[in-house]
Each structure stands twice: as C-alpha cells, then as structure tokens.
Structure 1
C-alpha cells in the first residue's frame, strides 16, 4: 500500500482540479470514485472550536467511518460518538482513550454493553427503564446520560419518535436509576439531522436544565450536557452553522452559565464530512425517448444510467426530504438519472432538466461525505467507489492558539494511506516513477 496524499495550498480549487486530473489520468477506468479533502475536515474542526468554544465535539462515527477520517479527527483531538460494539472497537484500535468515547445509543445489545464495560467505556445514554435494568446487571460502573425527546418535526431525519424520554417521565426514570445504584451524570438530546428550526435547540436546552434540577434534587451530580448534532456541513443549507451556533450559545449562557461544573459536548457528524467528499459518476448508458407533452407536441427526454446509485452512495440522498439542487448551465432536456442496479427504486433524479449528455460523460455530486460510504451496499455486485484523499493546507491562521487540535501537516504523511492506483495512473501521465516528493508538486496535472 503506497502513500497517496496530494497537498495543495488552495482549498477552493482542490476538488475540481483533482477531479479533472483523475478523470484524465484514469482513462479506461470508468468506475465511480470519491475525492475527499481532509483539509476541509480540519478547517471545519477549527471553525467548530471557534464558534462553540464551550462545546467539545464527539464525532458521530456512523456518519462516515472511513479510517482516514477517523484518524484525522483523532489527531485533531475530538471525542467519538459510537453506537455499537463495532464502532467502539474501531475507535479504540486507533488509540483513542475510552474516556473520549460516548456510547450514544439509548437501546443497547447486552453483549455490546459487556464489551463497553470490559474496555472501560463508561459514558452511555438511556431513555427507558429496560435499559437501566440491563446496565445494573452488566455495567454497574457506567456513567449514564438521560436522553430526552425534542421537537424535531422540522428536521430531515426526526429521531424523537424512536428515542428520548419526555420531560415528565424523567423523574421516575431517575428514581429507578437511584434505586438500582446507577450513576447518572447528565442529559442528552438530538434535534434531528438537518434541523431547520433553531428554536428546537432553545427548547431542548431549556428542558435539559429542568432535568438537571430534578437530578440534583435526587442527589445526582449532574455534570454533562450533550447537545447532539445534525448540523449541516453544506454552506448552502439554511439555517447556517453560524445561525445555529448563535442560538445555542445564547441558550447555553442562559440555562448553563459558563462555569466548570458542567461539561458540554456535541455529536456532529454531517457537519464535519459532508462538504469534504465529492463523488464522480460515469454515464454508462444513454436512452433517448420522445413523449407527448400537455400541448400535444412531442418532446425529447433522456434517461441516463450511472455507475452508482441508491444501493450504493446515494441511499441518504434518496431518503432525505430535500434533494441537492443541481445547477445545469446549457440547453436543458427533461432527464432521469438512474443507478446501475436492476431495481426501479434505484433512481437518483426524476424529471430533472439537464443538458444533453453522452455515454462516458461524468456527473459530479458535491457534499457527499455524510451517510454515503457508511450506508452503501454492494447489491448486484456493484463495488463501492474508491476514495482518493487530498489534503488542502488552507489558512492555518484560523487554527486555535492552543489545544490538541493544533498539529503539524507533516504528520499526515504517516497517517493516511489509500490505493496505489492513482500513483500508477499519474506515473503514466508524467512518464516517470512517482515518489513521495513528487506528490507535493502535482499542480501542473490538475491545471485546467
């Protein structure tokens, strides 16, 4: 396995130039592929620390568990939100301390609870009595966090229909925990992925304060607040991260005034990786049909079969309530975009107006880092797209003055590995044997 890391100074041009370079260099290899900019993740982390300085991020592993992403975030000093034994094991194997893991699944399999106990993972969530009885039996030293329900009706993915206790149920749950000698250390909530109503955060933080007071009256030392995640990593999404953090900071200052008694954490996933990943798909078949419109005249219509789809990268794209806004610039025709599998469910875009494309053309989808790789399958034998990692240097002036996230770029050369296919392809373009120093000066390949 060769190190394949391209360092480019201007983060604004990284993905487009690398995409062009790869499409040129990999002629004859029309498989779908990702370009992932680890520098974008690094910049997102510094932005998070700047905008929410009181909040420690615990990255949601389920969102994108690519090894390179996890290693980057571990190096930056984030914690990790894990939902299963498999995710906990993945993070522990990277050397992450058990104290930097929150087992944020309110309903856990007994064998997974035993694994967490054996490996010192103590922080975990619950929202019902049944979970407390399991914890008392199999992990009595656990530090439990009570998950409360929120108003997440305006979110893409509403979670409170499945998880979270109502505020009026919390006192009974805390009393049950007390009778079982279970330690409860705080409260968590999640307003849903892609939450559009910032007031949901206000109400959730207010409710968390109420539960804190109930816990204190029962003798608990309530010292942790988990404000969940769901923040978008797409700059075009509204409300923006800045708008959301403004509401969060105001509510935290009102209900949890700045002090050292309460640790505040969050579970961002989509925020970190969404914009870092771009996927390139190849058109493998073009179909042209004529159909009569409402005016009786025939119109041209196209169906394009792509080499990835709903059963691969685009399951989240299919499930969310709002699709990405594509921006065609040429003469437009009604078009359908299909994935490669044999089912009629595998449709990415229906009746969308696109310029006329040809078999062999590439269709680029940005903002594909969240719930794409982690949810993809190999149904019908179609492989998952390869990932080519690049690292944009960005503006290091935005880095915090202190903290574990301040790291040197040279460390990445020892952390991130991926397939040698790119090196082999670029060797053919340059006509020379590529070694590591050459990877630092590949801009000429990616010039338009």
Structure 2
C-alpha cells in the first residue's frame, strides 16, 4: 500500500496540533514549482538543478513535475537519487575529481556531460563515450559571492586553453563551464566569466557547443528578494556581446536559489537564560542551521507560540546555542527574536531549503529528519513589530 504523507495547511497548524520536540522542515511544493517556473521562463538556456542543495525525493520529483529534467550531480548516490524519480532525466556529472569506480558509475548511469579542470583528471575519462560532452571548468579571481569556489576547482585560463584543445582533439563534444561562487549577488561576476570564456575559446581555436554559467544565483536571505531576472538579462547580454551572432547554447545549475524558499525550518526553544539574552534551541550548526553559521544571520525569523500564534514583541538580539554538548554549536551572535518569546515556543527560519537537510548530522542524537508538506509556509504575512 502506498504511504501518502499528510498535507497540512501551514507550519503553525502543524506545530500547534503536533507539538514536535524535534526540529521540523516544512516543504511547500507550490513554492518550489513557482521558483522552477521562474527559472524556466527567465533563463534563456537549459535549466538544471544542483542536487547537492537538497536531494530529498519530494524535491526531485516535484522539479521533474515542474518541467526540470536535467540535473547537476556530484556522486553516484546523487545519480541514484535522480534515477529514483526519473528514468529519462539527463545528468551532468560536474564534480571534476572522481575515482575510477565513480567514473564507471557515471558511465553506467549514462551521464551525458562531464566537467574537468586538469590534465590528470581528463586522463581518467578515457572510457567515457565520445558521444558525451566534456566541459572544461575554469576559475577567475572574481568577487561578488558569499564564498568563492575557485580555490578548490577550476583551471587557470591558460590551462583551460590546453584542456579545451585536448577535449576537441580526443573526440568529445567540447564545452566550457564556470561557477561564480555561492550566493552571488553581483551580475558582473557572470559578465567577467563569460568574456573570459570567449578569450579561452579564441585562443584554443575550438568551437564549443555549450557554456555552463554555473549556479551561484542568490536566495532571499536579507532585505528584498534578489532580482534573478536582472541576472538572467546580464548573462544574455554578455553572451551576445562576447560571442556575437554565433553564441554557444547556455545552461545553468541553480541549487540554493531553486530550493531555498520552498522550505521553512522550525526549531523549538528549549531554554532561556539570564535576562533572556541567551536562548537554547533544539537545532543548531550540527543540524539544519549549519548554513547560517557560514552565510550569516537571516533577517526573516519568526517566533510562534505553542498555540500557533505569532509572538509580536519587539525583536531583541540573542545569543543562540544549539542542543548539543559542543560549545561551538552556536549561531552568529545577535539573532533577532521576539522579546516575548518563551520556552516551548518555536522559531521559524524561512528560506532554509538549501543545505539544511543535506548537511544535517546526528551528533548527540540531534538533527533534522522530519519533512512535513504544507500548502503554505506562513499563515501570518506580517513581520514582527
């Protein structure tokens, strides 16, 4: 018998009726569908999803239902997750460092596109069918992202020229790819990369079929929501300006920006110390809040009482610890929580669909494991006073 999970109206309803004593992630498929449509409508090339951001089966299956049928995968486990929801999805194996067994798995799963950033890694791909695309990944010292991926992956432009020539000579379909870094809010980063890609192509004397402009599109963390359409327009303009009348096809691989907004995390207040300046939650940096440690405090945080009502007290910056016995389990100081918050209340963190579930641990027996499907993510649309 098929087990169909219950569908709740909103997080407040679930919290007031179920009173969970563990952190919960609330998932709204309608929000994910709307975000996917925004990318499909606004980005002029192929939209793939970076599975690493959130590989939950409900996410992958809803993306397929929304029309996304290409996925950026980094491991055989992610390939299996994609095949679990679609027999026809196209997979782009863009982790440029692979073991021999991982390469064999990629071939078996039918990965259509592979990335590479050094000669020794290209040597390993000899058995990859020549019908596949191999994208040379390059990196530039470009700012504009929360943190840069170029320190780990990416050939220099000079090395990229040589790699691109080899890919073409050895019979694969040559392509280029880059990643401007996570949570990149500066469209000029893509512009600089695209013009550098044109220089690499010219120097290599090789035609590229496609150019992968990476992920890095920002999610809504602070202030107003990012203007993704402005970034799409900047990418299109840069491709036209750099490549003229015969541009390569483009594709992107959003992860964070695709899935973040469709989840809200709820953590319960376990304790309040002093005059209320220190708060203990049942989730922290070893669980679903790990991304806050790296990305900084969000502005959209809400406190919900046990009966589902929003706390309306003036926000107060708090020191917030997670539930484990490790003193490092501490969010960046100053998390703004309602001044009338009490022990037993729930703290809602919107926009935590990316990396929360993917990176949670079971350290000390804590962590996020429950995903609850809801129609809407917030009942009350007004922020705390």
Match of 2:11 among 4, 13, 19: 19
Match of 1:344 among 327, 331, 334: 327
Gaps of 5+ in 1: 8-16, 289-299, 393-442, 444-448
The one-character-per-residue Cα deviations of 1:366-409 (angstroms, maximum 9, x if unpaired) are 110111100111111114241111346xxxxxxxxxxxxxxxxx
| Residue 3 of structure 1 pairs with residue 4 of structure 2 | yes
> In 1, Cα distance between the equivalents of 2:336 and 2:46?
43
Change (3 A) 1:6 1:190: same
The one-character-per-residue Cα deviations of 1:338-376 (angstroms, maximum 9, x if unpaired) are 110010111124244541422101111111011110011
Change (3 A) 1:388 1:258: farther
After TM superposition, the structure 1 = structure 2 runs for residues 130-145 of structure 1, keeping only pairs within 5 Å, are: 130-136=120-126, 138-141=127-130, 142-145=132-135
TM-score (norm: length of structure 2): 0.87
Q: Give the number of equivalent residue pairs.
A: 364
Task: Kindly indicate whether the alpha-carbon contact (under 8 Å) linking 1:82 and 1:103 is maintained by their aligned counterparts in 2.
Answer: yes
| Residue 242 of structure 1 pairs with residue 233 of structure 2 | no
Alpha-carbon offset, residue 234 of structure 1: 1.4
Match of 2:259 among 239, 263, 273: 273
Task: Kindly indicate whether the alpha-carbon contact (under 8 Å) linking 2:268 and 2:347 is maintained by their aligned counterparts in 1.
Answer: yes
Which residue number corresponds to residue 324 of structure 1? 298
Alpha-carbon offset, residue 164 of structure 1: 1.1
Match of 2:145 among 155, 159, 163: 155
Change (3 A) 1:35 1:203: same
Gaps of 5+ in 2: 303-311, 380-385
> In 2, Cα distance between the equivalents of 1:338 and 1:250?
46
Say which one has the larger Rg: 1
After TM superposition, the structure 1 = structure 2 runs for residues 432-443 of structure 1, keeping only pairs within 5 Å, are: none
Change (3 A) 1:2 1:117: closer
> In 2, Cα distance between the equivalents of 1:102 and 1:387?
27
Which residue number corresponds to residue 168 of structure 1? 158
Alpha-carbon offset, residue 76 of structure 1: 2.3
What SS does the corresponding residue of 1:48 show, helix, strand or coil? Answer: helix
Task: Kindly indicate whether the alpha-carbon contact (under 8 Å) linking 1:232 and 1:274 is maintained by their aligned counterparts in 2.
Answer: no
> In 2, Cα distance between the equivalents of 1:350 and 1:214?
49
Task: Kindly indicate whether the alpha-carbon contact (under 8 Å) linking 1:339 and 1:347 is maintained by their aligned counterparts in 2.
Answer: yes
Which residue number corresponds to residue 188 of structure 1? 177
Change (3 A) 1:214 1:88: farther
What SS does the corresponding residue of 1:62 show, helix, strand or coil? Answer: helix
Which residue number corresponds to residue 426 of structure 1? none
> In 1, Cα distance between the equivalents of 2:85 and 2:315?
49
Task: Kindly indicate whether the alpha-carbon contact (under 8 Å) linking 1:198 and 1:239 is maintained by their aligned counterparts in 2.
Answer: no
The one-character-per-residue Cα deviations of 1:415-448 (angstroms, maximum 9, x if unpaired) are xxxxxxxxxxxxxxxxxxxxxxxxxxxx9xxxxx
RMSD in angstroms over aligned alpha carbons? 2.5
After TM superposition, the structure 1 = structure 2 runs for residues 196-235 of structure 1, keeping only pairs within 5 Å, are: 196-215=185-204, 217=205, 220-234=206-220
> In 2, Cα distance between the equivalents of 1:332 and 1:199?
36
Which residue number corresponds to residue 262 of structure 1? 248
> In 1, Cα distance between the equivalents of 2:335 and 2:316?
8
Change (3 A) 1:175 1:102: same
Which residue number corresponds to residue 118 of structure 1? 108
